[in-house]
Structures are given as C-alpha cells and as structure tokens.
Chain A
C-alpha cells in the first residue's frame, strides 16, 4: 500500500514535470552536464589508468628487472679507437643474487645478441636471447606450437631455438612447422617451439620480449657467441664485453619486492665500480600509477562536484520560482486537507525526479562522449558500473538537498493568503 502510494506520487511528479517539458529540461540541464562530465571524466581517467596498470602488470608485479646500461664514463671512453668497454651484469652477479636472497623464487639471466637468422632463403634480423627455462615462467606468453626451452637443453648445450609468432611467420612462412634448421651467424639451431609475443613500452620499462626474439639456451649462447661483441661504425671499431644484459627476478610475494630490490641494489653497488645497471620495480611503478590515478580522481571529482553544485542551485532556483508560481495550487491543496509534509514530499519528489532524469540523460551523454573520444582520439576509455551508479546516487542527493528548501517554503504557504492569490 505504501509502496503503491510512493509510485503514484512519483508518477504524478513526472506528469507535472511533463506539463512544462521545455522548462523541466532547461532546469535539469545543469545536472545533465554535471553528471555527464562526471561519467565521461571517470571513464577517461579509468581508461588511462587501466592502460598503464595493465602494461605494468604485464611486467609482473612480483618481478624485479635489472638491466645492464653503459655508464657515462664508458660512453666517453669508447671514443678512443679499439678500446673495449666492459660493463653490465656478470654471470657471478646472477649466481650471487640467487644464492643470497631467500625471497627469490626464480631468476632468469638474459644475454642478448643481434644476429641475422636465416632459414633457407628467408632472413630476419634477430634479437637472440640467451636465457634459461625460467624466462618462460617469468614472462608468461602462450605457447603456440612445440615447446619452450628445457633444463636439459641448458645442461646439455643443445642448439635449439624458440621463435616468436612474428619470427615464425617471417622465417617459416607457410611451412608453419617446428623442427626446421635455423641458421644464426654460422651455427644451426633446431626450431623447437613458437610462442606469442607482446611488444611495447610499459610506462618507462621496456617489456622484456620483442617480436624479433629467438630464444636459445644461455649456455649455448655463451659457447657459440662469447661475451664480446664488436661493431664497426663509421671507421671506428667498437668492442663491448657484456656478460648479461638483463636479469629478471621473481620474488615469492609482493611484500618481498621492495626489500629484495633494495638488497640487490646494495649488493651490486659493492661489486660494481661503476653504476652500469639499472633496477626497475614494476610494483613501484604500479604504486605510482595508482597514486597518480587517485590525484586525478580528486581533481576530476572537485570539478564534477562544482558543476553538480551549480546544477543543483539551478534546480533550486527554478523550484523556488515554481513554488511562487504555484502558490494558489498549494493553497487549494492545503485547504482540501493536504498536510504540510504531503506538500513537502510533492515538491521534493518533483525535484528528485527532475534531477534523476537529468542524471540519466547525463549518464547517456557521459557514456556517449567517451566512445567518441575512443573513436576519434584513440584514447582508451572504460565505463565501470561505479561510474554510472555513483553519478546516479549523486543526482539523487542533489535533488534531495536542493529540493528541500523550496519544498519547505511551499509547505509554509498559508492557505488563506494563497487562496486570495489571483
């Protein structure tokens, strides 16, 4: 019975608002734009942060990535001819790190060699990645065909290679089968598997795999290609000696990430005279991205709040005018026997219905705008349930808050005076 009455009151409110369609629409415009901007901003913000967070997660939130870098001193030194620059991580570093930290679950050393790969008449400039089977567990990519590297490959120094989907398409072409002989430099490798690859940048960290990768056991890489790379550029001969280009370390739990990274840093500092390494912690970036998102949300929230405030004041203004305009109606209702609170609820329902309708139109607009942004600007946008429910709740609240004063004013109308109101 009570619910029926509320539904009826709401219907009557809608009916009344429909009598002044244009005015109602104009009144609620502030809410429309307020809510619309909330939804649009939330979804753009959510999209931007989701993209950042996704790519950081791709790096693994329990991972620590250590990259070899050429220090600045070395850069300068290399201008002298035929000097060899020695930098980067060493095999010893790898062993030491793994043995020292109990928190480390596994670690993959990475040795990179740029070489051309040939398969019969097809050729592709490869990034040969000498690594251990751990690599495939740390950088989880689906296996498309065959297998990944095995510990036995590593121990027995079997010349096998795992290609990426991209590499396989280029080199194996239509013969999309494994077991083909791939020539890298002067040596033959058997292609044993094909994995999917991701490429791109996650915040500032290059994600570990590339499309032109060929994975071979690190022991094989060491014996076949050695640690010295020579490059001839513009008459100078440049030689570099790098044992390991990268190390990917996975710790047992998220809490271990930062202390372990700190520990590794301290250890490397002791054994390296120059800072020829860089430690990146995806988790730290994740935290940073989350903090940025929070700030972003606060700023957007304030802007949206102000626009909703303006919208609410707009509604209140019109409702006050409406109360004045409808003084006679209020008086008649009171004379007939309407109680004050019935008048209050009548006007309050009208305001709330008005602001919720505004909210719904605003949500429609707010959903439309992000998809246009995605379409034209290519920016990712995400519409969450929260970004729809929240503005709806807010517009309800705005209706109540800004409708209360006009409604109370309406209830205070003296029927005697109102009935003389011509």
Chain B
C-alpha cells in the first residue's frame, strides 16, 4: 500500500485497519471515515490535514479513543481497542493519552494547579504527590508563579501551556493536539508548536490536527484527508 507508513511492529504505536465511521445525519449516512488503513510509529509527529468535513476530527476522536469505529479495527500498542467498553476506553485515555484543544478547555473554576493535577486525581494520586508533580510541570512550561491563578487570569498562550502541562501530567504515550494554535496569535502559536516539537524530541508521539500548512510544517509527517479517505502522505524522512 502506497500510503501506509511501513514500520516494524515494535515501533508501531497505532494502526487502523479498514476503519469506517458512519454518522447518521437525519436520514442521510455520512461516511466520515470511509475505510482507512494506516499505521503510525512510536515517537513520530504527525499532522493530520484536510478541509472541513474531510474527516480529520473524526480521525482524531477515533485515535484518541473518544469514539468507536462503525467497522474495522483499531490496534493500539498491539491491543485491539475497537471493541472495548466505555470504562476501558476511559482507562486507556487516562493512562496513555494527553489532549490539547483549540479552546484550551481548562476548567474555569479550578486553579492552574488543580487543572494540571486533574489526570492525577483520576489516577488516584495523593494530594502531596500531585502538587509536587504539578509544580515540576508548571516549572517546565514557565508558569510556576501562576499555580494559584485561575485560567481567566492568564493569556491565551499561558492557558495553552497549562493545557500542555495537564496533558503531560500522566506521562502519556501519545499527545493529541486539536488545532492547538487556532486561538493564538502567530508568535504565541509558534512558541506552543516549539514546545510540541521539544516534547516529540523527548520521545512523545504527537498527533496534531490542523488546517494550516505552515503549522503542519512543524510535524515530521503530514497526512492529507479528503472525503473520509487518506488523500496523500508526506514526510521529512
């Protein structure tokens, strides 16, 4: 297959096999994913691109275990996760994934510290250990002074950095970034992307959805989608 990234099974982290996702819109069926087969290696940095309605958001939701396939298989680290129940998928997200969103999605009433601690709370960490981890992460993103602030008191770039710290709290295998710079100005966006690049260099697999090619340029590989199918793939290596 021309579009498949060839990889050995050890390095492979996610694989879709003939993945279909069909939504019902009124009486019409929409093929958001129309039979996709692909594979990403561990430590890669992918940008998923495509116009609105091309299925890139659906792809992200499927890969992020936020949604089920209609048919086909999704293999995550060698395990078939396409038939798992809601609780098991929650557990997977909790232990393996970190999410970064366009609108940051920090919880407004919680302080920066509490926001960063959120995954640890669900992992059952005790208060002291969580606080220490939050402090270390805040230091990494340069917001140590803001731990007691609420999101509303931060700038957009700072909020996204907090979101990244939160996404890193559980030491995830894969970081999903959905238009991470969409609500930021170019300079701040650039800083955020730089942060993602650094994380990738530290070994994290990053899957980013964007429709801007200059943003996608930061990724090592780009996957172009159209009408629920992979249109083409390019990569730096």
Binding site for B on A (CB under 8 A): 4-5, 8, 16, 19, 328-329, 331-340, 342, 415-416, 419, 422
Which A residues touch B103, using CB under 8 A?
Answer: 422
- Interchain residue pairs with CB less than 8 A apart (17): A16-B109, A329-B109, A332-B105, A332-B106, A333-B122, A335-B105, A336-B99, A337-B90, A337-B95, A337-B170, A339-B87, A339-B91, A340-B86, A340-B90, A416-B66, A419-B101, A422-B103
The 8 closest A-B pairs by CB, nearest first: A337-B94, A337-B93, A339-B90, A332-B105, A19-B109, A329-B107, A336-B119, A339-B87
Interface residues of B in 95-124 (CB under 8 A from A): 95, 97, 99, 101, 103, 105-109, 118-119, 122-124
Tell which of A331, A339, A422 has the most Cβ of chain B within 10 Å.
A339
**Which of A8, A336, A342, A422 has the most C-beta atoms of chain B within 10 angstroms of its own C-beta?**
A336
Q: Hey, which chain B residues are within 8 Å of A4, CB to CB?
A: 126
What is the bound-complex CA distance between A419 and B104, given in angstroms?
A: 10
Q: In the docked arrangement, what's the CA distance between A416 and B90, Å?
A: 13
Q: Mark B117-161, 1 if CB is under 8 A from A, else 0.
A: 011001110110000000000000000000000000000000000
Closest to B176 in A: A335
B61 within 8 A of A: yes
- Residue pair A337, B105 in contact (C-beta under 8 Å): no
Q: For A333, what are the chain B residues with a Cβ–Cβ distance below 8 Å? A: 107, 118, 122
Asked if B119 and A416 make an inter-chain contact with CB atoms under 8 angstroms apart, the answer reads: no
Closest residue to B88 on the A side, CB-wise?
A: A339
> B90 to chain A: which residues have CB within 8 Å?
334, 337-340
**15 more A-B residue pairs beyond the given contacts A333-B107, A333-B118, A337-B90, with a C-beta to C-beta distance below 8 A:** A8-B127, A16-B109, A19-B109, A329-B107, A329-B108, A331-B105, A335-B66, A335-B99, A336-B118, A336-B122, A337-B91, A337-B93, A337-B95, A337-B97, A338-B122
Chain B neighbourhood of A338, CB < 8 A: 90, 94, 122
- For the complex, give the distance between the alpha carbons of A342 and B123 in Å: 12
Which residues in A have their C-beta under 8 angstroms from that of B87?
Answer: 339-340
B122 proximity list for chain A (CB < 8 A): 333, 336-339, 342
Q: CB distance B107 to A332 under 8 Å?
A: yes
Q: How far is the CB of A329 from chain B (nearest CB, A)?
A: 5
| CB-defined contacts of A335 to chain B, threshold 8 Å | 64, 66, 93, 99, 105
> Which residues of chain B from 24 to 46 have any CB-CB distance to chain A below 8 Å in the complex?
none
B77 within 8 A of A: no
